[in-house]
Amino acid sequence: MVSKKYNVKGFDCANCALHAEDLLNKNKSIEKASINFLSGKLEISYKDKPFSIKELNQVINKISDDHLVVTEYVDDSPKKTKVFNKEVIFLISRIVLSTILLLVGVFAIKPFASTLFSWQWIIMILVYITAYLIISYDHFVKLFRNVIHFKNIVNESLLMLLASLGAFCIQEYPEAILVMILAQVGEVFEEISVNQSKNSIIDTIDTRPKTAIKLIGDKRETVLAKHLKIGDIIIIRVGDVITNDGEVVNGEGDIDVSSITGEFVPVHVSKNNELMSGSLLKTGSIEMKVTKTFEDSTTSKILAMAMESNDHKSKAETFIDKFARLYVPIIFGIALVTAVIPPLFICGINGTWTWDIWYQYIYSGLTLLVIGCPCAIVISVPLAYFMGIGLASKNGIIIKGSNYLDRINEISEVVMDKTGTLTTGEFSVTNEHFENIDKDTFEELLFIGENNSSHPIAKAIIKYINIQKPLKRPINFKEQGGLGVSYEHNNKEVLIGSVALLRSKNINVAEVSSNLTIMYVSYDNNYVGYVELEDTPKENSKSTIAYLSSHGIKTLMLTGGKATSAQYMSDYLGIKEYYADLLPEDKINYLKEEISHKSKNKAVAFVGDGINDSPSIILSDVGFAMGALGSEAAIQNADVVLMNDDPKSIVNSIKIAKITRNKSIFNIVFALVVKAAIMVLSFIPGVNLPMWVAVLSDTGLSMLLIINSILIILRKIK
């Protein structure tokens, strides 16, 4: 099976995209097709050989109501869209022209056209027909294409055409034109809102300028940021937003990283510190070496993930997909029954075929056709999830799919790694103890071994000892996950790690009683001492655990550290259950056990650093990676990336997921209730609900729900 991505343009509405997706999935050569209307992306998994671009364009244009253009997928930084593009301006022009002709017909000609087939009446009818064709010809084109390609013609275009043509047949000419005008107004607003929503996401995430000041020798030159190459030196002044990821080579200052992490506390940086694109220099002056191109920088990655997140549909969107496929044919059937059965029954009983009775029920049936357009629901629900993911990005949380927002809502348990997740992971040595060896040799053994490890504990030991003179390189160096390291020095084995590591080599060592982390050392099969390290809990770890517990979410801590340290940390944070002295495979086994015991429709989340904990992140229902966008493992494996490395982002993720779900449910329920109410009103004798009111209610409803969805991105997370 081969999967490919494409860019696709030309859809008039979300329901059109949904219809095309449904028909693509019925193609014998396609295993699965998914169309993202908001981002204009098509993803297809082929059963065998993929279509060429020419073949795919032929296939999709045979099944689609719209004229579509499919191109090879370009993985580039999303760009802002013109809100009023050519298509929107052309449609607005048609609306204006048709409206003018309608007003001329109603107010300038109709008062003088009381006699049928008089020249005034004929001019009025010609004006009405012209106005009608100007505003509705694209719907006729769609219908014609569907007929000649033997496609299902029961869609929203057919509903509107039947309603307006029916109004023409019963001599409600202005109403027929107004139905189509209001429907096209809805199309304009939908196109504008989708374009504006994309731009809102880009404006929220990407604050980078287009240019940067490049240092060439002693000269400064303003260049386009996208033309910067790795190794270029750029100057960052107070108030400048950093265009690319890089490293400080000269100067220092305070950096505002809130656009990336959601945290507004400035970070002080100096030489050799890394900088992320999108950050703002608050104080100081910096010369920075570019380490990533404009397209590969942090901001571009965040933006790409946010824009592509709707490729994975939520449960609400999946429901809407199924609902829309049934909804339009059902409405069509109800309208047909309404227009035909009651007048037949009434006229049959009365024995007279009165036009007034037929007119009343035909008009009600036509009104039902107008009400039946599903666009208000079809566009507002995906838009709500799109905005929810944008809100998360604004708060330093990258959620990689609408479906993960649903899964976050279902979390019943959060399993957490300790070091780097609940604690800072920045260890400091508080004590060293050595015996039967001198201090210098003891520290040299530690320095040589830990200098080859990237573990936070190793970094703390190196920082504490800080030997400047050249030392021998370790021989046969091995890093044993969850235990420690071993190597040879002067043909003698050195072990640095846990009690278990030393005892596995039959080295006699007494375990030190302490709540801190202990690293034991042996040399030539003899225990020679230990170092004691402290790891502090993160500022918001305790409040995060308290929030989860108060909302009925179980917390479990897994750590490779010793039991006394784990007990101390769990007691301090309020975690009731923990397991210590674990190897990576032990963590996976405990996680499997928790997943096997979860209730149906519930989710178990795992939170780790995104590198060492990648297997657990993959295994969990929702995998959170802490502050690890720079880690390819985190990007590939995590469902949610927490940019600010703060446990409170877990809580914020849950809050944002609830906001999004509640908006979606409101949009669905409110739309159905309004439509049902208008349908009921159209059946009540004597009400005579004008058809244009039904259209206005549908168009107005679409506008209201779209605005309701877009407002999500303005929410403040407390």
> What amino acid positions are annotated as catalytic residues?
417
HEC secondary structure over 36-79: ECCCCEEEEEECCCCCCHHHHHHHHHHHCCCCCEEEECCCCCCC
Tokens in use for 63?
């099944």
- In 371-515, DSSP assigns E strands to 397-399, 411-417, 428-434, 475-480, 484-489, 492-497
Burial class (CB in 10 A: 0-12, 13-18, 19+), 402: buried
For 220, list phi and psi in degrees, rounded to 5: -115, 135
Alpha-carbon span 204 to 390, nearest angstrom: 8
Altogether, the residues listed in the chain come to a count of 718
Structure-token match 């000649």, residue found: 148
Smallest CA-to-CA distance from 604 within 613, 593, 589 is with 593
Q: Which helix (H) or strand (E) holds 356?
A: helix 355-371
The one-character DSSP state at 241 is: B
Contact between 165 and 116 (Cβ < 8 Å)? no
Q: Give one word for 272, left, alpha or beta, with left for phi > 0 and alpha for psi -120 to 50.
A: left
Residues 6+ apart with CB under 8 A from 639: 399, 400, 401, 404, 407, 617, 622, 623, 624
Return the bridge partners of 647, or none.
none
* Closest among 708, 643, 195, 70 to 400, alpha carbons compared: 643
Tokens linked to 137: 């010809």
Residues 6+ apart with CB under 8 A from 92: 84, 188
d(CA 539, CA 506): 41
Residue 237, φ and ψ in degrees, nearest 5: -105, 165
For residue 622, list its beta bridge partners. 605
Query: Is the Cα torsion angle 195, 200, 205, 209 positive or negative in sign?
Result: positive
Question: Using CA of residue 407, residue 413, residue 418, residue 423, what is the dihedral sign?
Answer: positive
Cα angle for residues 137, 138, 141 (degrees, 5° grid): 90
* C-alpha neighbours within 13 Å on the C-beta side of residue 262: 25
Q: Which tokens hold the place of 6?
A: 């494409």
Taking each helix axis as running N to C, give the angle between helix 375-394 and helix 298-308, from 0 to 180 degrees, rounded to the nearest 10: 160
What is the helix (H) or strand (E) element at residue 522, kind and residue range? strand 517-523
* DSSP symbols for 440-471: HHHHHHHHHHHTT--SHHHHHHHHHH---S--
Instruction: Evaluate whether 416 touches 557 at the Cβ level (below 8 Å).
Output: yes
CA torsion sign for 175, 180, 186, 192 is: negative
In whole angstroms, give the CA distance from residue 569 to residue 537.
8
Q: Are strands 428-434 and 411-417 parallel, antiparallel or unpaired?
A: unpaired
